[in-house]
Amino acid sequence: MEMTQRYVALGDSFTEGVGDRDESRPNGVRGWADRVAEQLILADPAAGYANLAIRGRKLRQIMDEQVDAALALEPTLVSIYGGGNDILRPRVDIDALLTTYEDGVARLRNSGAKVILFTGFDSSASAVFGKTRGRTAIYNELVREIAENHGADIVDYWRMREFRDWRYWDTDRLHMSTAGHTLMARKVLDVMRTSHRIDVPGLETRPALGRLRQLRADAQWAREYVGPWMGRRLRGVSSGDSLNPKFPTITRNLDASSITS
């Protein structure tokens, strides 16, 4: 008989669900991990889910704060993605960072849990984030090696060409939109070889902008998102500093009003 899943999701804003707004959920977001958990619970109502991810967390914070907490929940399945916030910093030692990452992955695998890792997205189309493409490529090779060393599965975000369509991204151009999170849930379930009932919503048609309107849109984006993001970095604060994990214990009901452990 197949073991009942206890799925625990670890990471930063990507896994917390930022960009997929849902005020009925803790922290006001849904996200791909919630959507994956919903499908697992539909298939087996005894299955459970926890999400310990918090936006803004760097990789060492994820290792220090979330791995022990995940192991205490006795998971059968763990997804983990971290490092994106480190790659965006002015300086980062990716080799040292991934050594820490591998230690955490090894501990999770040694517990008997199945582990799913992610490569980073190819940001070559972004005028701002594209400058980190080389770092991400190095990160990805090391993540693939970790997956091979420890028998983890890998969701290869880098090779998902669909995400070059900016309609899969939120207005901040950094996090996935609802459509993007829905598509990612399908991708993760496919890697898990799990049947699902997820339909990706249709993408809205966006009118082409002339050069002047595009420049104005870019300037507005910089004011609303890039400026505040850089300000937080300079002050050493994070958008997730005041937040707690969405689902810190195993739950089967994902609405904020009906969480059970």
Q: Taking residues 9-20, report their average pLDDT.
A: 97
Mean pLDDT across the stretch 74-89? 95
Q: What does the pLDDT average to over 84-110?
A: 95
Paired tokens of 72: 């205490």
> How is residue 223 written in tokens?
């004011």
Number of neighbours of residue 144 by Cβ within 10 angstroms:
16
User: Which pLDDT belongs to residue 256?
Assistant: 46
Residue 48 has pLDDT above 80, yes or no: yes
Model confidence at 257, pLDDT cuts 50, 70, 90, reads: very low
Average pLDDT along the chain = 88
Task: Summarize pLDDT for 200-240 with one digit per residue, the tens.
Answer: 877 877 666 666 665 665 556 566 656 566 666 656 666 76
pLDDT tens-digit profile of 106-160? 999 999 999 999 999 998 877 667 788 999 999 999 999 999 999 999 999 999 9
Two structure tokens written together for 170: 């939120």
Of 21 and 221, the one with more pLDDT: 21
Residue 12 has pLDDT above 80, yes or no: yes
Which of 1-15, 49-63, 210-224 shows the lowest mean pLDDT across its residues?
210-224
pTM of the shown model: 0.88
Q: Which CATH number fits domain 6-200+243-256: 3.60.150.10, 3.40.50.1110, 3.40.50.300, 3.90.800.10?
A: 3.40.50.1110
pLDDT at 178 over 80: yes
